[in-house]
Structure 1
Amino acid sequence: MSRSYDIAKEVFADWGVDTEAALARIATIPISVHCWQGDDVAGFEKKSGTSGGGIQATGNHPGRARSPDELRADLEFAYAQIPGKHRLNLHACYLDTDESPDRDAIEYRHFAPWVDWARDQGIGIDFNPTFFAHAKADDNLTLAHPDAGIRDFWIEHGRRTREIAARIGAALGSAAVNNIWVPDGYKDIPVDRMAARRRLEASLDAMTAESHDRAHMRDAVESKLFGIGVEACTVGSHEFYLGYAIRKDMVLCLDMGHFHPTENVADKLSSVALSVDEILLHVSRPMRWDSDHVILLGDDILSMAQELVFADLLGRTHIGLDFFDATISRTAAWVIGTRNMQKALLRALLLPQARLKAAEERLDHTARLLLTEEVKDLPFAAVWAEFCARQDRPTGQALIGELDRYQAAVASRG
Structure 2
Amino acid sequence: MSSNQFELAKKEYEQWGINVEAAFAQLKNIPISVHCWQGDDVAGFEVNKSELSGGIDVTGNYPGKATSPEELRQDLEKALSLIPGKHRINLHAIYAETDGEAVERDQLEPKHFEKWVEWAKKHNLGLDFNPTLFSHEKAADGLTLSHPDPNIRQYWIDHCIASRKIGEYFGRELGTPCLTNIWIPDGYKDTPSDRLTPRKRLKESLDQIFSVTIDETYNLDAVESKLFGIGSESFVVGSHEFYLSYALKNNKLCLLDTGHYHPTEMVSNKLSAMLLFNEKLALHVSRPVRWDSDHVVTLDDELKEIALEIVRNGATEKVMIGLDFFDGSINRVAAWTIGTRNMIKALLFAMLMPNDHLRELQESGNYTRRLALLEEFKTYPFGAIWNEYCEQMNVPVKEQWLNDVEQYEKEVLLNRK
Does the TM-score normalized on the shorter chain lie above 0.5? yes
Pair 1:413 & 2:416 matched: yes
Distance (Å, rounded) in 2 between the aligned partners of 1:282 and 1:48: 25
Query: Contact conserved, 1:52 with 1:229, CA < 8 A, in 2?
Result: no
What letter corresponds to residue 56 of structure 1 in structure 2?
A: D
C-alpha contact (below 8 Å) 2:387/2:398 kept by paired residues: no
Work out which of the residue numbers 330, 342, 354 in structure 2 matches 1:328. 330
Q: Distance in 2 between matches of 1:66 and 1:58?
A: 17
Give the whole-Å Cα distance in 1 for the aligned partners of 2:351 and 2:399.
Answer: 26
Query: Do the aligned residues in 2 keep the contact of 1:284 with 1:323 (CA within 8 Å)?
Result: yes
Structure 2: distance between partners of 1:354 and 1:12: 14
Question: Which residues of 2 match residues 14-93 of structure 1 at below 5 A?
Answer: 14-93=15-94
- Following superposition, the deviation at residue 350 of structure 1 comes to 0.5
Supply the distance in 1 between the matched residues of 2:69 and 2:107 (Cα, whole angstroms).
20
- Secondary structure of 2:415's counterpart equals coil
Instruction: Work out the CA distance in 2 between the residues paired with 1:296 and 1:407.
Output: 22
Q: Conserved in 2, the CA contact under 8 Å of 1:38 and 1:65? A: yes
Give the distance between the partners of 1:120 and 1:63, measured in 2 at CA. 25
Change (3 A) 1:151 1:397: closer
> What amino acid is the match of 1:234?
V
Per-residue deviation at 1:25?
Answer: 0.8
Q: Give SS of 1:218's match.
A: strand
Q: Can you list the C-alpha shifts for 1:184-204, whole angstroms capped at 9, x where unaligned?
A: 000111111100000000001
2:129–2:181 Cα contact (<8 Å) kept: yes
Aligned to 1:195: 197
Q: CA deviation at 1:277?
A: 1.4
Per-residue CA deviations over 1:41-82 (Å, capped at 9, x if unaligned) read: 000000121322111110000010000000000000000000
The aligned residue for residue 341 of structure 1 is: 343
Which residue identity does 1:37 align to in structure 2? Q
Amino acid at match of 1:40: D
Indicate the percent of aligned positions where both proteins have the same amino acid: 50
Structure 2 counterpart of 1:240 = 242
The one-letter amino acid paired with 1:96 is: E
Alignment partners' CA distance in 2, 1:132 and 1:412: 31
Q: Alpha-carbon deviation of 1:395?
A: 1.7
Cα distance, 1:397 vs structure 2: 4.1
Q: What letter is aligned with 1:81?
A: L
User: How big is each residue's C-alpha offset from its partner over 1:136-172, in whole Å with a ceiling of 9 and x where there is no partner?
Assistant: 0001000000000000000000000001100111000
Consecutive unaligned residues in structure 2, runs of 5 or more: none
User: Does structure 1 conserve the Cα–Cα contact (< 8 Å) formed by 2:334 and 2:402?
Assistant: no
The separation in 1 between residues aligned to 2:358 and 2:7, in whole angstroms, is 24
Which residue of the partner structure matches residue 281 of structure 2? 279
State the 1:97 CA deviation.
Answer: 2.1
- Please list every run of 5 or more consecutive structure 1 residues that lacks an aligned counterpart in the other structure: none
- The more displaced of 244-253 and 307-316 is 307-316
Partner Cα distance (1:171, 1:396) in 2: 36
Superposition deviation, residue 275 in structure 1:
1.7
Deviation at residue 375 of structure 1 after TM alignment: 1.2
Deviations 1:311-344 (A, max 9, x none): 2211111000000000000000000000000000
CA distance in 2 between counterparts of 1:397 and 1:298 reads 18
The residue that corresponds to 1:269 in the other structure is 271
